[in-house]
Amino acid sequence: MNDTTTGTLLERIMSGSLVLQIAIGIAAGVALALISPGSAASVMLLGSLFVQALKAVAPVLVLVLVAAAIANRKASHAGQMRPIVAMYLVGTIAAALLAVTMSMLFPTTLALTMPEVQASAPQGISEVLGGLLSKLVDNPVNAILTGNFIGILVWGVLLGVFLHRAAESTRRMLQDTADAVTSIVRIVIRLAPIGIFGLVAGNLAESGLSALGGYAHLLAVLLGSMLIMALFVNPLIVWVKTRRNPYPLV
């Protein structure tokens, strides 16, 4: 009976609204920082582990997804993918422009505890190009370890291209690997409320409640940007492409 109840509770948590759970995590983090700043500082570990988990799974996910998608691509689908990729690129550029615009219109200042980093800006275009080329030819293992997504994309594309003519079982195994990594990423994402709880509580304990206004401002800007993209920019892109009412798709 207890096992059944526990299983049902876990299923409800895993299938529940992630946004609601994150909101609860934020509220719990703020409450803990108000009630017990010492305890709030100790749960910062949860946030650090969550961020580290995201950094760990993201490079592997990109590599296997790109390789699997290209390796299992069918020639008949090439023409169908072009408009989708084009719309994706337009949407990504529009989102980037919107993010820059919103950050300039509503600048946000956050108090963060960051380790001291010794770095210097590139001295010229040749140094920039040299750094880019070095990332392109990076060792795949090192690219994953250091989060070099340019190198990861290059290796993913190359693996996908040369595995496209591989045996069906090989391509099936690659797709199964991509599905498995995707499932792992879903589990990590479902842990976001716990990680955000730790991050909020720990940062508030270190920076004080005065930082709460900055986080609220940042959250408002992010949510506003997401709403603009979802309700205006993306529907506009769909309308330009289809000349039909896009809002039934929203």
**Pairs from 162-166 (Cβ < 8 Å, separation ≥ 24):** 163/67, 163/70, 163/71, 164/70, 164/71, 164/72, 164/73, 166/71
36: left (phi over 0), alpha (psi -120 to 50) or beta: beta
Q: What is the pTM of this model?
A: 0.70
Q: Give the start-end residues of each E strand in 63-193.
A: none
Is 1.10.3860.10 the CATH number for 15-110+144-242?
A: yes
**Pairs from 30-34 (Cβ < 8 Å, separation ≥ 24):** 30/200, 30/201, 30/204, 30/212, 32/197, 32/201, 33/200, 33/201, 33/204, 33/205, 33/209, 34/209
**What does the buried/exposed string (b/e) look like for 136-151 if buried means 16 or more CB atoms within 10 Å of the residue's CB?**
eebebeebbeeebbeb
Query: Sign of the CA dihedral 167, 169, 174, 179?
Result: positive
pLDDT at 101: 92
Instruction: Report the half-sphere exposure of 196 (CA within 13 A, side-chain side).
Output: 19
Residue of 19, 46, 40 whose CA lies nearest to 28: 40
Q: What residue has token string 């099936």?
A: 172
pLDDT at 233: 92
pLDDT at 121: 58
pLDDT at 73: 81
pLDDT mean over 82-108: 85
Q: What is the DSSP letter of 6?
A: H
Confidence of residue 49 (pLDDT cuts 50, 70, 90): very high
Which tens digit of pLDDT belongs to each residue from 120-138? 656 667 777 787 788 888 8
Read off the tokens for 35. Answer: 């009630």
When the pLDDT of each residue in the chain is averaged and rounded to a whole number, the result is: 83
Instruction: Report the half-sphere exposure of 142 (CA within 13 A, side-chain side).
Output: 6
Residue of 200, 220, 221 whose CA lies nearest to 211: 200
pLDDT at 229: 92
Q: What is the DSSP string of 46-77?
A: HHHHHHHHHHHHHHHHHHHHHHHHHHT--GGG
What is the residue extent of each domain of the chain?
Answer: 15-110+144-242
Gap between the Cα atoms of 82 and 241, Å rounded:
13
Which tens digit of pLDDT belongs to each residue from 71-91? 888 765 555 667 777 887 888
Confidence of residue 54 (pLDDT cuts 50, 70, 90): very high
Residue 95 in contact with residue 230, Cβ under 8 Å? no
